[in-house]
Structure 1
Amino acid sequence: MDLLAGAGGLAITIPAFVVALLVIVTVHELGHYLVGRWCGIRALVFSIGFGPVLWSRTDRRGTRWQIAAIPLGGYVKFLGDADPASATADAGAIEALGEEERRHSLVGAPLLARVLTVAAGPVANFLLSIALFTATVLALGVPVREPVIGELRPLPEEIGPTAGFRPGDVILGVNGTPTPDLRALFDYAREADPAAPQRYRLRRGSEELTVEGPMPMPPLVAGVTPKSAAARAGLEPGDVILSVDGRPIRAFHQLQEIVAASEGRSLELGIWRPGEGRLRVTVAPRVMDLPDGRGGFTHRVLIGITGDLFFEPRRETPGPGEALLIGLGQTWSIILGSISGFVHMVSGAISSCNLQGPIGIAETSGQAAAQGLDSFVWFIAALSTAIGLINLFPIPVLDGGHLMFYAYEAIARRPPSEKVMRALTALGLSIVLTMMLIAIGSDLFCP
C-alpha cells in the first residue's frame, strides 16, 4: 500500500485523516445534539472518538462532553438509550423515568422531535459541505468569462514561447479561430494541431497584437487525482510531460490519446518539474469508471491527472449569493454522483474497486492535504457529503434506519415491536459490516 510507503507519507496521511474525520464527525454529532436539545431531548454523553476516555467534563445540563482514544467516529447518547448508536432503548431506565422525564428521552419524545433529531446529523454534514464549498469559491474566486491571463505558468522552452504574453492580456483568437470566452479556447485546444505554430491575437489595453505561443493546453499536470496511477508514480501539480516512451509531445490531448491506446501498459514519462529540471517516471494507466453525464458510467484508461491552459485565468470574487449557489450545486452533484455510483456498483455495471474503505480514504486525505489547503478543504467537503448520504441509507443502526422505523410508526400508529427492532438492527449491523469488509478489501487488493 502507498499509505505505508514511508514515514514521510504517514506524517501527512495520519494527521490529515484524523483532522478530516474529526471535523466531519463533530459537525454530524453536533447536528444531533443541538436539534435534540432544541426539541427538549436530554443528551447524557457527547463523545468524539470511541474507547477509553482521555478527557471529559460535565456541563450544567448534565451532558458529559468527552474525547476518547480512538478518533474514528463519535456519538451522542440520549436519555433512555441502551447504546451509543441509539439503536435500542434501555427498557429498565425508561421504566424508572417519570412521565415528564420520559418526555425528555429519545424514545419518549414526540415522533416529530425524534425525526428532526435523527435527521439533523446528515443535514449538518450537507450544510458543512455547502459552507466549505462556498468558502472555497469566495476565497479562490471563479475565472472571468473572457480568456484573460491572470498569471503565466512555468513552462520549459520546448513547450513553446511565453515571453510575448503579459498578465491582463485578453486572448481574442488563436490561428484565426475566435475565442470570445474560456469555453471557446478550451474547445480549440482539444482539436489544435500540435505540429502547427500557435499564433495568438491579443488585446493589451487599447492595443491589439499577435504573438506566437505554446499550445493552449500543453501537457501540463494541473491536478493529480488522489490514489490514482499518477499519484502513485509521484507526479505533482506543475509537472510538464515532455515525452512518452521517448516520443515528444506538445499538447495535452496527445497525452490523452497515447494513454487511451496503451491498454494499461506501463509508460515512461519524461517530465520537467519547476525547480528540479528533467526527471523520468513510470506510470501504469488504469481503467477507471467515470460518470458519462447522462446518469451512467463509461470505462476509460487514465493515469489520473487534469490538464489546463498554459496560463492561470484571471479570477474574480463572486457575490455571496452566487457563491452559495455554486456550493449548493457542488454538494448536489456529489449526492447524485454517489447515488448513481452505488446503484451501478450494486448492479455490477462498475467495479466494487470504486468503493473506498478507511485505508483508501486515509490515503486520499493525505494526498489531498499534500496538494494544498484548498484541495484538503474540498476533500473534507466532499467526504462530508458522502458520509451524510450514507447515514441516510435505510439500514438499521444508521440514521436512515431510525427514520425508516419512524416512518413505519407514523403509518401504523405504533412503533415496531421490540423483537422486530432487534432482528432488523442485527441485520443492519451485518450489512454495514459486510460493506465495510468489501471496502477494506477494495483498499487492500484493488490496483
Structure 2
Amino acid sequence: MIESPGLLMTIIAFLLVLGPLVFLHELGHYAAGRWFGVKVDAFSVGFGREIAGFTDRHGTRWKFGWLPLGGYVRFAGDMNPASQPDAEWLQLPAHERARTFQAKPVWQRAIIVAAGPAVNLLLAVLILGGFAAAYGVDRTPATVGGVVQGSAADRAGLQPGDRIAALDGRTIETFSDLSFYTAMHPGERVTVEYLRGGAAQKTDAVIGSVVQRDRFGNEAKIGRFGIERGPPVYAPLPLWQAPAEGTRMVGAILRGTVDGLWQIITGRRSMDEMGGPLRIAKTSGEQLSLGWPALVTFVAFVSINLGFINLLPVPMLDGGHLFFYAIEAVKRGPVSPQTMEWAFRGGLALLLALMIFVTVNDLGAFGVWRGLAGLIG
C-alpha cells in the first residue's frame, strides 16, 4: 500500500527544510560581508514581491518574498548580477564607495561569497555529528557474514569471513562503507581487494542491480553485492569527536554526490533521477511523516547538496564568482566587464534550462505525463 503524507504536510515540511537552509546560506554571506565592513542593503528569503519585512538600524531591509525557492543578500554597490564596478558605482561618494562589495580586495570578496556554501556544509557537519554522538557510530566491520547464492559476491568467489578492504581502490572501513558504495554503483565492474586468513587477495566483480520501491511508491535503481553483514557493532562517540565524525560523513556524502553526477554525465545513470524543488518538497513531506529525526537528517542531505551545487563553477552561482576571483587573483586584475556579462548571461540561460528540465522530470515522477497521455489516448 502506497502512503502519502498529504499536501498540507508536504508544504509545511518543504518550508521547514528550504526556509532555514536558504536563511542560513544567505546569513553566511551577510555575516562575512559585515565582518569586512560591507554595507548590506537587503536580506531576502524568497524571491518576488515582498510580503513582509522590516529595516534594521544598520539600514538593511530584511524581507520575505512570495516565492520561497531561494533568497539573496544585496550588498551596497551591487548594481548588476556580476557585482562589477560601473559608472553608477564610480559616482558614489568616496566614503560610501569604500563600504561597497566591489571596493574590497579579491580575497575578502572570495570569503564573502564562499561563506554561504560553507555554512551549509557546516550545518550538515553539526547535524550528522550530533546524531552520531547521540546514537553512536556504526563500526560493523566489512566482513562477509554470508553470501547470497547467485549474487555478485558469489560469482566473485567471496566467502564468509573474508574482510573487504577496498573497491576499485576506494578504502572500505565498515560495512556501511561497503553498502553505500555498492548501492551507488549498480551494474558496474569493480576490483575487490579483500583479506582471507590474513592474506591479501584481489578479484573482479560486477555489482548487481535492483529496483527498490519504498512505502511512498518511489522507485530507485541501486546496486546489490549479495553480502550479508555480520553482528552489528555500534560504538559510543564522545561529544568532542562529533565534529570530526560529522566531517567524515559529509565528505562521504559529497563523494557519493560527485559519483552520482559523473554517472549521469557518462550515461550510466538515467537523467530522470535528477530532481528539483517539486521532488524536494515531496520527499520533505515523506520524511516528516516518518518523524523529526528523519526530517532533520534530510535537511542535512539537502544542505550538503545546496552547498555543493553553489560551489560549481557556473556563472550566477557562488562557484562562478569564485572562479572569476581566482582568475583575477592570478592575472592581478579583474576580468573584463564584457566577458563577465556574457558569462553570466550564459550561466543564467543554463540555470533556467536546468530548472525547466528538472521540473519536467519532477512532474514525470509524479505521473503527470502518464495521466495526460491517458486522457489524450
TM-score range (shorter-chain normalised) is 0.7 to 0.9
Q: Which runs of 5+ in 1 are unaligned?
A: 146-181, 193-286
**Cα separation, 2, equivalents of 1:313 and 1:410:** 51
Contact 1:102-1:109 at 8 Å conserved across structures: no
Match for residue 134 of structure 2? 139
Match for residue 19 of structure 1? 16
Pair 1:332–1:10, CA change in 2 (3 A)? same
Match for residue 145 of structure 2? 188
Match for residue 340 of structure 1? 259
Contact 1:289-1:350 at 8 Å conserved across structures: no
Match for residue 384 of structure 1? 303
**Cα separation, 2, equivalents of 1:128 and 1:436:** 25
Question: 1:374 aligned to 2:268?
Answer: no
**Cα separation, 2, equivalents of 1:289 and 1:304:** 18
Question: 1:42 aligned to 2:39?
Answer: yes
Match for residue 118 of structure 1? 113
Deviation of 1:95 after TM superposition, in Å, equals 2.0
Deviation of 1:329 after TM superposition, in Å, equals 1.4
Pair 1:348–1:293, CA change in 2 (3 A)? closer
Contact 2:187-2:209 at 8 Å conserved across structures: no
Contact 2:84-2:337 at 8 Å conserved across structures: no
- SS where residue 303 of structure 1 aligns? strand
**Cα separation, 2, equivalents of 1:54 and 1:89:** 29
Deviation of 1:56 after TM superposition, in Å, equals 1.6
**Cα separation, 1, equivalents of 2:126 and 2:337:** 40
Match for residue 360 of structure 2? 441
Pair 1:346–1:313, CA change in 2 (3 A)? closer
**Cα separation, 2, equivalents of 1:333 and 1:288:** 12
User: What residue identity is the alignment partner of 1:345?
Assistant: I
**Cα separation, 2, equivalents of 1:74 and 1:374:** 26
Match for residue 94 of structure 1? 89
Any runs of at least 4 consecutive aligned residues in structure 1 with deviations exceeding 3 A, and if so which? 186-192, 287-295, 312-317
Contact 2:315-2:344 at 8 Å conserved across structures: yes
Deviation of 1:93 after TM superposition, in Å, equals 3.6
**Cα separation, 2, equivalents of 1:383 and 1:298:** 27
Q: Could you give the per-residue CA deviations for residues 253-280 of structure 1, whole angstroms, max 9, x where no partner exists? A: xxxxxxxxxxxxxxxxxxxxxxxxxxxx
Counting only pairs closer than 5 Å after superposition, residues 126-165 of structure 1 correspond to structure 2 as 126-142=121-137
Deviation of 1:290 after TM superposition, in Å, equals 4.6
Structure with bigger helix share is: 2
- Percent identity, please: 35
Pair 1:356–1:290, CA change in 2 (3 A)? farther
Contact 2:184-2:260 at 8 Å conserved across structures: no
User: What residue identity is the alignment partner of 1:125?
Assistant: N
Deviation of 1:130 after TM superposition, in Å, equals 0.4
**Cα separation, 1, equivalents of 2:18 and 2:328:** 33
Question: 1:300 aligned to 2:300?
Answer: no
- SS where residue 38 of structure 2 aligns? coil
Pair 1:387–1:14, CA change in 2 (3 A)? same
Pair 1:294–1:72, CA change in 2 (3 A)? farther
- SS where residue 101 of structure 2 aligns? coil
Deviation of 1:183 after TM superposition, in Å, equals 4.7
Pair 1:183–1:413, CA change in 2 (3 A)? closer
Question: 1:401 aligned to 2:320?
Answer: yes
**Cα separation, 2, equivalents of 1:335 and 1:418:** 34
- SS where residue 397 of structure 1 aligns? coil
- SS where residue 55 of structure 1 aligns? strand
**Structure 2 residue aligned with 1:412, among 310, 328, 331?**
331
The size of the alignment, in residue pairs, is 308
TM-score, normalised with respect to structure 1: 0.62
Structure of greater Rg: 1
Counting only pairs closer than 5 Å after superposition, residues 45-64 of structure 1 correspond to structure 2 as 45-64=42-61
- SS where residue 60 of structure 1 aligns? coil
Pair 1:322–1:190, CA change in 2 (3 A)? farther
Pair 1:55–1:384, CA change in 2 (3 A)? same
Contact 2:50-2:63 at 8 Å conserved across structures: yes
**Cα separation, 2, equivalents of 1:299 and 1:56:** 54
Question: 1:106 aligned to 2:101?
Answer: yes
Pair 1:52–1:424, CA change in 2 (3 A)? same
Q: Could you give the per-residue CA deviations for residues 332-381 of structure 1, whole angstroms, max 9, x where no partner exists? A: 11111111221221222221122111111111111111111111111110
- SS where residue 104 of structure 2 aligns? coil
TM-score, normalised with respect to structure 2: 0.73
Deviation of 1:87 after TM superposition, in Å, equals 2.6
**Cα separation, 2, equivalents of 1:289 and 1:16:** 30
Deviation of 1:319 after TM superposition, in Å, equals 0.4
**Cα separation, 2, equivalents of 1:57 and 1:90:** 28
Counting only pairs closer than 5 Å after superposition, residues 255-334 of structure 1 correspond to structure 2 as 290=186, 300-304=209-213, 317-334=236-253
Q: Could you give the per-residue CA deviations for residues 93-152 of structure 1, whole angstroms, max 9, x where no partner exists? A: 412222332221111111111011001111111101101111222233335x6xxxxxxx
Pair 1:130–1:329, CA change in 2 (3 A)? same
- SS where residue 188 of structure 1 aligns? strand
User: What residue identity is the alignment partner of 1:72?
Assistant: L
**Cα separation, 1, equivalents of 2:109 and 2:331:** 16
**Cα separation, 2, equivalents of 1:362 and 1:33:** 27
Deviation of 1:299 after TM superposition, in Å, equals 6.5
Counting only pairs closer than 5 Å after superposition, residues 240-259 of structure 1 correspond to structure 2 as none
**Cα separation, 2, equivalents of 1:353 and 1:127:** 30
User: What residue identity is the alignment partner of 1:443?
Assistant: D
Contact 1:334-1:386 at 8 Å conserved across structures: no
